[in-house]
């Protein structure tokens, strides 16, 4: 199959699976924001984000290693899965031994057990899902994602609406969904036949850990960049403001959603569908279209941020819109940074991922402590945007050492200015902002739409030529 067609096909499968499930999360935002107060939403968000910090730490980064090594494993695929699960079990044992330390943190008082089960369930689900994806079973990977989200929503409704379990029900629904989906994968995809302690090889474990261990601080640093400022906002501004700030992330995560759909397909193509002779051209063509889609999405979300807030959020959360434009800029450069990280994935340069993520985290922390006391949650949003911008710049420069490709700097600069002006107009609430937003949105769509269409037509033309 033509490499562009394969990429589009895999992306379409992930899009169907992800959009059909994740869209329900957005449609249920009125439910969450009506049942949970901003303070309760803040607590549930901090619990889940703390678990997200601990997950890669006690998984020893092996979940990402399972995916990357499964891509190359072929006849040794069972060694990769068994060795990965063995490492994961060791990490789970260490986590259970150290879990009493959670009680020293005040904000998890009464919820420590939730963090424990969240981490354990999330890690095993992530490992199994990454193994399926690494084997090239894109349909299976997409289906498990749909089922996971559907179950999470189902249990959210049961626990929040029927039983009124509040924060506990919100978090527990994710845990139960992860457990059930893991069981589904184990029996549906017969993963039990791919695991045996006899398949665990010291050389495989060593090779996977060499790649995976640098992913631990990388994941922690990305967590610091994207989440740590919420803890600072909580301490400086209080739970109510932090609840609004946490809720404001929901609209910008549409860009994260688009990134996830594409990157899940792109990683497979970047490793398997291009050799060194044409990899630069492949990366350049794909990045051009990817960048255009991301900026068009960002422009649309900024223009409609107030409207989306009014539709999806309860009235008490309306103030969340004011943080969205800056956070959308942050997630835009987060998406571009993720693409550049695919170069490190192809070349197995996980240390470079670590170094660039560390830089972004340091910038975010410094700016958060400087800006949040002065301008509140706006400072947290601005710190995130600046840190992702710097991380993207560093990755763009270093990635060229491993895969030299055209990242279209002029187009990148024009898009950044146009969308940046949109964000500034919204935050400043300039008079006639609706007119300005309409003009800039049309400009972004025209500037990016034609090249994307030309790229798709070119890919289809190449496919027909090869087929004939």
Task: Write out the chain's pLDDT in tens, 468 residues.
Answer: 567 777 777 777 766 656 555 566 666 677 777 888 878 888 888 888 888 889 988 998 898 889 888 887 676 899 999 999 999 999 999 999 999 888 887 767 778 889 999 999 999 999 999 999 888 888 898 888 889 888 988 998 899 888 888 888 988 999 999 999 999 999 999 999 999 999 999 999 998 998 888 878 888 888 888 788 888 898 899 888 988 898 888 888 888 878 877 887 787 777 766 565 677 888 888 898 899 999 999 999 999 999 988 888 888 888 889 999 999 999 999 999 999 988 888 877 778 888 888 999 999 999 999 999 999 999 999 999 999 999 999 999 998 888 888 899 999 999 999 999 999 999 998 888 999 999 999 999 999 987 667 666 665 666 566 555
> Same domain, yes or no, for 126 and 58?
yes
> Same domain, yes or no, for 197 and 123?
yes
> Same domain, yes or no, for 130 and 164?
yes
> What per-residue confidence (pLDDT) applies to 224?
83
Alpha carbons 1 and 15: distance in angstroms, whole number: 20
Domain containing 120 equals: 1-213
> Same domain, yes or no, for 376 and 435?
yes
- Taking residue 456's Cβ as centre, other Cβ atoms within 10 Å add up to 13
> Cβ(230)–Cβ(243) under 8 Å?
no
> Same domain, yes or no, for 8 and 125?
yes
Greatest Cα pair distance in the chain: 69
> Same domain, yes or no, for 357 and 443?
yes
Q: What Cα–Cα distance (Å) separates residue 381 from each residue in 98, 221, 328, 372?
A: 33, 17, 9, 9
- Among the candidates 213, 237, 262, a domain finishes at 213
Alpha carbons 406 and 285: distance in angstroms, whole number: 8
Number of domains in the chain: 2
> Same domain, yes or no, for 353 and 264?
yes
> Same domain, yes or no, for 130 and 60?
yes
Half-sphere exposure at residue 445, Cβ-oriented, CA atoms within 13 angstroms: 9
Alpha carbons 291 and 415: distance in angstroms, whole number: 9
> Same domain, yes or no, for 202 and 272?
no
Rg over CA atoms, the chain: 22
> What per-residue confidence (pLDDT) applies to 131?
94
> Same domain, yes or no, for 218 and 283?
yes
Alpha carbons 52 and 50: distance in angstroms, whole number: 5
| Burial state string for 50-68 with b = 16 or more CB within 10 A and e = fewer than 16 | bbbbbbbbbbbbbbbbbbb
Phi, psi of 227 (to 5 degrees): -125, -35
> Cβ(64)–Cβ(57) under 8 Å?
no
> Same domain, yes or no, for 341 and 236?
yes
Tell me the whole-structure pTM to 2 decimals: 0.75
> What per-residue confidence (pLDDT) applies to 162?
87
- Among the candidates 213, 241, 265, a domain finishes at 213
- Among the candidates 180, 195, 213, a domain finishes at 213
> What per-residue confidence (pLDDT) applies to 282?
85
> What per-residue confidence (pLDDT) applies to 25?
62
Phi, psi of 195 (to 5 degrees): -115, 130
Q: What DSSP element (H or E) covers 328?
A: helix 324-347
Alpha carbons 83 and 448: distance in angstroms, whole number: 45
> Whole-angstrom distance between the N-terminal and C-terminal Cα of the chain?
13
Residues with Cβ within 8 Å of 93's Cβ and at least 6 positions away in sequence, in order, are none
- Taking residue 372's Cβ as centre, other Cβ atoms within 10 Å add up to 22
> Same domain, yes or no, for 206 and 222?
no
């Amino acid at each position: 199959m033509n490499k562009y067609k394969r990429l589009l096909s895999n992306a379409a499968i992930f899009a169907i699976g992800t959009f059909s499930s994740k869209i329900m999360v957005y449609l249920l935002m009125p439910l969450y924001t009506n049942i949970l107060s901003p303070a309760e939403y803040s607590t549930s968000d901090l619990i889940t984000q703390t678990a997200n910090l601990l997950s890669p730490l006690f998984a020893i980064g092996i979940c990402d290693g399972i995916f990357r090594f499964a891509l190359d494993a072929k006849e040794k695929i069972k060694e990769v899965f068994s060795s990965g699960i063995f490492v994961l079990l060791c990490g789970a044992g260490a986590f259970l031994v150290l879990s009493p330390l959670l009680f020293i943190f005040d904000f998890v008082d009464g919820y420590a057990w939730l963090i424990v089960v969240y981490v354990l369930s999330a890690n095993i689900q992530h490992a199994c899902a990454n193994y399926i994806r690494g084997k090239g079973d894109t349909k299976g990977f997409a289906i498990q994602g749909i089922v996971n989200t559907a179950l999470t929503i189902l249990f959210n409704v049961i626990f929040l609406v029927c039983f009124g379990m509040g924060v506990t029900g919100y978090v527990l629904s994710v845990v139960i969904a992860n457990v059930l989906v893991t069981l589904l994968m184990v029996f549906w995809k017969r993963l039990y036949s791919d695991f045996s302690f006899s398949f665990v090889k010291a050389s495989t474990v060593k090779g996977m850990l060499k790649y995976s261990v640098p992913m631990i601080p990388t994941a922690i640093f990305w967590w610091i960049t994207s989440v740590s400022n919420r803890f600072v906002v909580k301490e400086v501004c209080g739970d109510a403001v932090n609840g609004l700030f946490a809720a404001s992330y929901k609209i910008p995560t549409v860009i994260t959603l688009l990134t996830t759909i594409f990157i899940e397909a792109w990683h497979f193509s970047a490793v398997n569908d291009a050799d060194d002779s044409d990899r630069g051209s492949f990366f350049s063509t794909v990045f051009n279209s990817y960048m255009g889609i991301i900026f068009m999405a960002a422009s649309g979300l900024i223009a409609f941020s107030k409207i989306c807030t009014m539709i999806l959020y309860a009235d008490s959360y309306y103030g969340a819109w004011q943080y969205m434009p800056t956070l959308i800029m942050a997630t835009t450069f987060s998406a571009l940074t993720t693409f550049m990280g695919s170069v490190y994935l192809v070349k197995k340069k996980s240390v470079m991922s670590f170094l660039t993520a560390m830089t972004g985290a340091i910038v975010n922390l410094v700016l958060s402590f400087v800006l949040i006391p002065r301008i509140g949650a706006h400072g947290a949003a601005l710190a995130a945007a600046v840190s992702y911008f710097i991380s993207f710049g560093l990755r763009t420069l270093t990635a060229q050492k491993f895969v030299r490709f055209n990242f279209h700097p002029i187009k990148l600069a024009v898009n950044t200015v146009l969308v940046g002006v949109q964000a500034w107009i919204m935050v400043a609430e300039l008079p006639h902002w609706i007119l300005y937003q309409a003009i800039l949105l049309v400009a972004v769509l025209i500037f990016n739409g034609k090249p994307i269409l030309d790229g798709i037509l070119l890919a289809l033309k190449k496919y027909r030529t090869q087929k004939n």
